[in-house]
Structure 1
C-alpha cells in the first residue's frame, strides 16, 4: 500500500478529487498509532525532542479525541476532508463531499486501507513534529545557520531520512527549518532523498488546542497553494 494519497498527490493532483487513481507520489510514515500515547525518546536527537515538546507532545497522553478538517486550495480549486480520531481506541471517522467512512485501525479491509492512507497523510501534516519522536528507523542530521528556502531567514535545519524499505515513506527525506524556540517555520519534502525538494512550504498560524500546538497554515513560495486546517478540536480525559 505504498505511494497513494501523499505529499506530491496533494501538491499536484489532489484538487482533481479523484482518490481512486494510483499515482507515483511519495509516501508518508505509517506510525504504529496504538503506541502514540506514550513518549519514548530512545535515540531521538535532542533537537528533535525539543521540536516535539515545543508543540506539546508531553500532553498527548491526555488526548482522548482529535478532530480536524484538512483543506487544500490550489489555483482557485478547493478540496477538503474531515476526520475524528480517538488515539486510544483507534476509532477513526472520515467525512468528505463524496463519502463517509468509519473504521478501526486494528480491523482494516481493502476499502478502509485506502481511507487510512489518506488519514496517515493528513495526520502527518497535522502532527509532523510528533512524528519525529513516534517514527522509527530514520537517520537524523542537523545544520546550523541555514538560510531557509522561502523567508530567507537564518534558521536551524533538522533533516530526517526514512529507511529504504517498509512503511509509507521509503528512502524519502524531510528538511525541517526551525527557530530558536524549536518551532518549525518551513520544510522541504525530498522524494527518495533527492538533492532538490519536491515540495517546500511554510509552517505558520500556530494555535494551541488543549496543550497541543498545531501549525494551521502551510503555503508555497508563489502563494498559489495553501494547505490548512480548520474545525480543529481536542478533547482530553477519558
Structure 2
C-alpha cells in the first residue's frame, strides 16, 4: 500500500508540473499578399490612409488640342469633393450626395480611377485573374498581366474590364480598358512618368500608341496628418 501511495503522489506531482509549464504559442504563418495587393502596396497603399487632402488637375489632350481640364480637391476622410472648372465650382459629399450630383460624381470617379487605379484593385469588389506572361499592347514587351472584371451591376459603367500589365516591381506600365467588357474598340494606354508624393506613387501621364491621345495630371498636392 505504501508503494501505491508513493506512486500516486509522484503521478500527481508530474501532472502538477505539466500544468505549470507555459503553453507554447503557435503563430499563424504570414499570409502571402495576392498579386493585386502587391500592386497596391508597391504604389504606397499604406501611406494613403495618412492623406487628409488631395488636389490634382485632370487633363486630356487630343492631337495637341486640350479638350478637358478639371481641377479636383478631395478630402478622403470626410468624403468631401470639390470640382473647379473655368465656369463653376461644385462641392459635395461623395458618399451621401453622389446621386444629387451625378454629373459631377461620374467625372470624379473617372478621373480618380486614372489617378489611383492601383488602389482600387483592393478597394473595389471585382473578379481578377493573373497571368505570368502576356504581351503588352503598346510596347510589345512580355510582362505579367492581371485581368480585372467588374460586376454587371457595379457603378456607373458596369461590367468594365481592365487588362493591367506590369513587371516584377508590380508597377503598372500599360493597360487596356474595355467598356462594359466589350471586345470592340479596346483602349490601350501607357502608365508613365511616376511621381512619389509622400510615399504615394502616381503615374502622371498616359498616352495611346500613336500619341494622338494624352491624359496627364498636374497641380498634384497631398496634405497628410
Partner residue of 2:77?
88
User: Gaps spanning 5+ residues in structure 1: where?
Assistant: 1-43
Query: Does structure 2 conserve the Cα–Cα contact (< 8 Å) formed by 1:70 and 1:80?
Result: yes
CA distance 1:67–1:152, change in 2 (3 Å) = same
Q: How does 1:51-130 map to 2 (within 5 A)?
A: 51-78=39-66, 79-108=68-97, 112-130=101-119
CA distance 1:154–1:99, change in 2 (3 Å) = same
TM-score by length of 2: 0.81
Distance in 1, matches of 2:47 and 2:131, equals: 28
User: Gaps spanning 5+ residues in structure 2: where?
Assistant: 1-31
Q: Does 1:135 align with 2:124?
A: yes
Q: Does 1:146 align with 2:112?
A: no
SS at match of 1:213: strand
Measure how far apart 1:109 and its partner are.
6.6
Query: Does structure 2 conserve the Cα–Cα contact (< 8 Å) formed by 1:158 and 1:176?
Result: yes
Number of residue pairs matched by the alignment: 194
SS at match of 2:220: strand
Q: Does 1:203 align with 2:203?
A: no
Measure how far apart 1:113 and its partner are.
2.1
Query: Does structure 2 conserve the Cα–Cα contact (< 8 Å) formed by 1:189 and 1:197?
Result: no
Measure how far apart 1:158 and its partner are.
0.3
RMSD: 1.8
Distance in 1, matches of 2:129 and 2:185, equals: 17
Q: Which moved more, 1:175-184 or 1:164-173?
A: 164-173
TM-score by length of 1: 0.77
CA distance 1:186–1:106, change in 2 (3 Å) = closer
Query: Does structure 2 conserve the Cα–Cα contact (< 8 Å) formed by 1:45 and 1:140?
Result: no
SS at match of 1:118: helix
Spell out, residue by residue over 1:123-154, the C-alpha distance to the aligned partner (whole angstroms, 9 max, x if none): 00000000000001x11111122110101111
SS at match of 1:195: coil
